Amino acid sequence: MGLFHDGMDLQKKQPASPFEITFGLLPLHQIPTEEPPSCGISIKSPYKPFQFFTTLLHNTGVQTIPKTSPLILVVEDEPEMLELMEAYLRRDGYRTEHALDGERALDLFRAAQPDLVLLDIQLPKLSGFDVLKNIRQKHLTPVIMVTARAEDLDKLLGLELGADDYVVKPFSPREVVARVKAVLRRTQQQTQTIVRIGELEVDSNAMLARVGPHRLDLTPAEFRLLEYLARHPGRACSRVELLEASLPNSDALERVVDTHLKNLRRKLELAGAVGMLETVRGVGYRLWLEN
C-alpha cells in the first residue's frame, strides 16, 4: 500500500484513494500499523511514523514561515499526533511551538506568548483544565481544547473555563486548521475595537462615535448600525443584514432600519459627514468615503 496524503499518492505523485489519515483512540484490531494503540493515530502506510512525517513535509513544500505569522502552541502528549498537527499548521503558514505535558505548556506559554493554544485535556503533570485555568487568570489568549472523552467535554462546558472552541477526537488535521483560522479571525475582529473611515471614528468598547471633534449622540440601534457599516466600508448591506446587526432576535420589520438610518444620516451630516451614508437602490445602504 502506498503513502497517502489528502488524496495524493506521495510516492507516485498522482491522485489516490480518499483521505486515509484518521485521528482517534482505536481498538487494537482496528489499527493497521505496527505502532501500539496508545499512539492514537492510524496511518495506512507501511512506513514508520518518522518516515511518514518526513515524507509528508517534503511533499507538501515546506517554506520559510515569516516571523510575523501567528504562533500556535500545540500541547499534546502523543508525539505522533503532535507532529502531524504541527505539520499541517506549518503547511498553512503558522509558526508552532509544542509541549508534551501541562507544566511545560505553561512555561512555553509565558516565554513564547503564543497567539493561540491548541490544548489537549488529558496531559501528564498538569491537566488541560488546570493549564486553561492558569492561562485565564491573566490572559485572554484564545484556547481550543482537544478531547477524546464525552465526560471531558461535559466538564469543559459545565465549568465555563473560558475555552474559545473545542475539537473532539477523532478529527481530521484539516478540521483543526480550520478551527484555528476561525478562532484567530474572530479574535482579531474583536480586538479591533476602533474603526476609522476618514474623519469618522467608531469605538466599540466605549460605544462612542465622532466625526472629527464632533461626538455623535446615537441611540444603541443607531450605534450598532454605524459600527456594522464602518466595519464593511464601501459594501452594500441589505436591510435584513442590517436589521440582524442592530436588532438581533427582534421581530421588527425591515423598514425599521430605514427609520434608524434616516436619523443616523441626519446626525452624520450635522457633524460634517455629508454624503457618507448612501442608499443603494434595491439593496440597502453603505458607508462611502469619496476620494
pLDDT of residue 156: 65
132 and 213: one domain? no
Q: Which one of 46-50, 52-56, 90-94 scores highest in mean pLDDT?
A: 90-94
pLDDT of residue 6: 43
DSSP state of 70: P
DSSP state of 46: S
Pairing of strands 284-287, 237-238: antiparallel
Per the structure, the count of domains in the chain is: 3
Q: Provide the CA 159 distance to its chain's centre, in angstroms.
A: 22
Q: Would you call 60 exposed, middle or buried from its count of C-beta atoms within 10 A (0-12, 13-18, 19+)?
A: middle
SS3 state at 146: strand
Contact (Cβ atoms closer than 8 angstroms) between residue 121 and residue 152:
yes
230 and 186: one domain? no
Query: 92 φ, ψ to 5°?
Result: -90, 10
Torsion angle (degrees, nearest 10) of CA 192, 197, 202, 204 = -20
210 and 187: one domain? no
What residue has cell string 448600525?
225
For 236-275, how does the pLDDT look when each residue is reduced to its tens digit (9 = 90+)? 999 888 888 777 655 557 778 888 899 999 999 999 999 9
pLDDT of residue 163: 80
Question: Looking at the predicted structure, is the pLDDT value of residue 30 above 50?
Answer: no
pLDDT of residue 226: 94
Pairing of strands 284-287, 277-280: antiparallel
What residue has cell string 464593511?
232
- Whole-structure pTM value: 0.51
Integer Cα distance of 225 and 80 in angstroms: 48
Residue at which a domain ends, from 62, 82, 99:
62
| Residue of 79 and 154 predicted with greater confidence | 79
70 and 180: one domain? yes
- Indicate the pLDDT class of residue 108, thresholds 50, 70 and 90: very high
Amino acid occupying residue 218: L
pLDDT of residue 279: 93
164 and 132: one domain? yes
Residue at which a domain ends, from 62, 89, 115:
62
| Residue of 106 and 67 predicted with greater confidence | 106
Question: Looking at the predicted structure, is the pLDDT value of residue 119 above 90?
Answer: yes
What residue has cell string 425591515?
254
Integer Cα distance of 261 and 160 in angstroms: 38
CB atoms inside a 10 Å sphere around CB 63: 9
Domain that residue 7 falls in: 1-62
Residue at which a domain ends, from 130, 164, 191:
191
Question: Looking at the predicted structure, is the pLDDT value of residue 72 above 90?
Answer: yes
Contact (Cβ atoms closer than 8 angstroms) between residue 287 and residue 197:
yes
155 and 237: one domain? no
143 and 129: one domain? yes
58 and 70: one domain? no
174 and 206: one domain? no
CATH classification at residue 94:
3.40.50.2300
Integer Cα distance of 103 and 94 in angstroms: 23
Integer Cα distance of 275 and 153 in angstroms: 51
When pLDDT is averaged across residues 161-182 and rounded to a whole number, the result is 85
Q: Up-side HSE of residue 173: CA atoms within 13 Å toward CB?
A: 24
43 and 77: one domain? no
168 and 227: one domain? no
Query: 144 φ, ψ to 5°?
Result: -110, 120
Q: Would you call 165 exposed, middle or buried from its count of C-beta atoms within 10 A (0-12, 13-18, 19+)?
A: middle
Q: How far is CA 7 from CA 37, 43, 45, 160, 194, in A?
A: 24, 13, 13, 38, 44
CATH classification at residue 218:
1.10.10.10
pLDDT of residue 64: 77
186 and 214: one domain? no
Integer Cα distance of 74 and 30 in angstroms: 27
| Residue of 149 and 26 predicted with greater confidence | 149
